[in-house]
Amino acid sequence: MAASREIPHGANGGTALDCDAIIIGAGMSGMYQLIRLRELGMHVRVFEAGTGVGGTWYWNRYPGARFDSESYSYGYSFSKELLEEWDWSEHFAGQPETLRYLNLVADKFDLRRDIQFRSRVTAATYQEETRSWNVTLENGDHFRTRFLITAIGPLSTPTLPRIEGIDTFAGKSFHTARWPHEPVDFADQRVAVIGTGATGVQTIQTIAGSVGRLTVFQRTPNWCAPLHNGKIDRETQRKIRAAYPEMFRRCQETFACFLHTPDPRGAFEVTDQEREAFYEKLYAERGFGIWQGNFRDILTDRKANATISDFVARKIRQRVTDQKVAEKLIPRNHGFGTRRLPLETFYYEVYNQNNVELVDITETPIERITPDGIKTGDREYPFDIIIYATGFDAITGSFDRIDLRGAGGVRLKDKWQPGPQTFLGVMVDGFPNMMMLMGPHTALGNIPRSIEYNVDWVSGLIRHARENNLTRVEATAAGVASWTDHVKALGGGLLSNEVDSWMTGINSNVEGKQVRIIARYSGSAPAYRARCDEVALRGYDELALA
Ligand SMILES: Cc1cc2nc3c(=O)[nH]c(=O)nc-3n(C[C@H](O)[C@H](O)[C@H](O)COP(=O)(O)OP(=O)(O)OC[C@H]3O[C@@H](n4cnc5c(N)ncnc54)[C@H](O)[C@@H]3O)c2cc1C
């Protein structure tokens, strides 16, 4: 076991620590947090499991991986110089471009010198005597720090399906979030895709034209809507750049930090013709408008929701030639927008190709993976490549994989066994000096906007602690109970909370994740920020400070 590396000048509050803060994860959250803590003059270390920066955009290299947020609304807003320097080439940029962007950010702000790659954090234990965290890496190294900041991603722990024989397959197999860095050749290959969530949809529509045969194994069809991506020409780029301040201001005002925000009208406050025309308009528009900019009640009122579900079902029937296949692609167990909406580009038309087959595994379940392919209830399919687009152990999954122990050795996993409990989605009682970025119970939405807010809030709290010689910052049990109750109350009445999905903590491939929880804050982002601002403005008097 390696010895702790003493860096006395990093000490804060009289204790020899290795650094003032440790950030786990070098995605967009961890990168920006590093920038902000450096500005406070702190000595910071970042530990990242991957070999490069970018998080989501480092790992998800599958064919067709791209934004569903408008590119320009997704990038960082904190640096005017960076905004001037970077041009997005498409309204919804692909993964390679976003990874290039995040590498530019790392270069520009010289981030890599404080990031240790290939360094998975396996445990972190709070030490009361020194008011510090002892962080352990997979290789056994230890580091001591005053503050511990988790930036481990809401969607960063991939899960494979629990199917017998998965290790026996003799061909190539990939999880979409662990895609190889080298190109995969699909020519003449017999390819299976398991999973039809947002990632499955992007993969399927992208590879369908280049594979020999494609077989899609679908358990739950998802409602999808057109992305309407397009290149950004010079003139549009100029306009986007000029409009940045106004655009970011708008993102601050909308419900979930997207450019789109709910229409104030209810679905039945207009005539049938007006409603149909509105849906046609939204279906023809770019991005999440049909989900985030729809009538205010489609996600809360069953009848309102049925009107948009019926509309999109009709579109699917129009776009898919074989009506039996179309019916299989129409969701029956949830309404439009009550699960994360995949945006697509000619996804439905893929099923009109002769080389593509859709297998509904609720009718013919997968029995096992064999060395040659996949065996369902009624036949065996031979494959050269199997792609698992089976998603993530979302929101709490990355926390569960670190042995996080707070004061008195309490495990976070045990504390959260009934569901996450947090203060503002940032802190947990019994876990002093630990702050979470994009953890449970915080506002997500168009995530970089939420990242920038959360990082600034956490940085403000740490600045306050350092300026006031505070070495212990903790949420109170009462504060946690009250925020958790608030988050649960906000979830009441939302149709999405009546549906099994990663947003309600369900993952049939993970033991113990079969009971719905409220994992997300579902109020408005402005209301979230107002509450956090209030805590800061009152000198953090709702926290236990010492
Ligand atoms: C395919 C895909 C498309 C998406 N598209 C959008 C979109 O269009 N709009 C949007 O708003 N959001 C989107 N998201 C969500 C996306 O995750 C966020 O936008 C954002 O990138 C999250 O950044 P992050 O830094 O918080 O987490 P991540 O980017 O997930 O980074 C977390 C990092 O922490 C590291 N890590 C985790 N655990 C450990 C550990 N124990 N030790 C060391 N390192 C660890 C991981 O390796 C990872 O690099 C998408 C997600 C996916 C998967």
- Summarised one tens digit per residue, pLDDT across range 295-338 is 999 999 999 999 999 999 999 999 999 999 999 999 999 999 99
Rounded distance between C-alpha atoms, residue 12 and residue 470, angstroms: 10
What HEC string does 329-351 produce? HCCCCCCCCCCCCCEECCHHHHC
Is the pLDDT at 10 greater than 70, yes or no? no
State how far the alpha carbon of 48 is from the alpha carbons of 151, 216, 413, 417, in Å: 10, 34, 21, 26
pLDDT in tens, 339-357: 899 999 999 999 999 999 9
User: Residue 388: pLDDT band by 50, 70, 90 thresholds?
Assistant: very high
Q: Which atom of ligand 1 is nearest to the CA of 438?
A: 26
Ligand 1 centroid–CA 328 distance in Å is 31
Beta strand pairing call for 19-24 and 44-47: parallel
Rounded distance between C-alpha atoms, residue 424 and residue 441, angstroms: 7
The pLDDT score that the predictor gives to residue 509 is 83
Question: Which residue puts its alpha carbon closest to atom 19 of ligand 1?
Answer: 447
In this structure, are residues 163 and 396 in contact, taking their beta carbons and an 8 Å threshold? Answer: no
User: Which protein residues are within 6 Å of ligand 1, measured from CB?
Assistant: 24-30, 47-50, 55-56, 58, 60, 65, 67-69, 74, 120-121, 151-156, 199, 398, 402, 437-438, 446-447, 451
Ligand 1 centroid–CA 56 distance in Å is 4
Mapped onto helix, strand or coil, the DSSP state of residue 447 is helix
Residue to mutate (ligand 1; options 156, 435, 437, 442; most atoms within 8 A of CB): 156
Is the pLDDT at 11 greater than 60, yes or no? no
Amino acid residing at 55: G
pLDDT in tens, 206-259: 999 999 999 999 999 999 999 999 999 999 999 999 999 999 999 999 999 999
Rounded distance between C-alpha atoms, residue 121 and residue 238, angstroms: 43
Element housing 218 (H / E): strand 213-218
Give the rounded percent of residues in the chain with a pLDDT score beyond 70: 97
In this structure, are residues 4 and 22 in contact, taking their beta carbons and an 8 Å threshold? Answer: no
User: Residue 197: pLDDT band by 50, 70, 90 thresholds?
Assistant: very high
User: Residue 12: pLDDT band by 50, 70, 90 thresholds?
Assistant: very low
Q: What is the CA radius of gyration of the chain?
A: 24
Q: Which atom of ligand 1 is nearest to the CA of 451?
A: 26
Q: Which atom of ligand 1 is nearest to the CA of 65?
A: 1
Question: Which residue puts its alpha carbon closest to atom 25 of ligand 1?
Answer: 27
Q: Which atom of ligand 1 is nearest to the CA of 56?
A: 29
Q: Which atom of ligand 1 is nearest to the CA of 138?
A: 42
Ligand 1 centroid–CA 139 distance in Å is 23
The pLDDT score that the predictor gives to residue 497 is 80
The pLDDT score that the predictor gives to residue 5 is 42
The pLDDT score that the predictor gives to residue 6 is 42
515: Cα separation from own chain's centroid: 20
Query: What is the pTM assigned to this prediction?
Result: 0.95
Q: What share of the chain is helix, strand, coil (3-state, %, to 5)?
A: 35, 20, 45
Ligand 1 centroid–CA 156 distance in Å is 5
Cβ burial, residue 85 (10 Å; 0-12/13-18/19+): exposed
Q: Which atom of ligand 1 is nearest to the CA of 156?
A: 30
The better pLDDT of the pair 4, 346 is held by 346
What rounded mean pLDDT belongs to the chain?
Answer: 94
The pLDDT score that the predictor gives to residue 534 is 98
Is the pLDDT at 14 greater than 80, yes or no? no
In this structure, are residues 266 and 295 in contact, taking their beta carbons and an 8 Å threshold? Answer: yes
Ligand 1 centroid–CA 460 distance in Å is 23
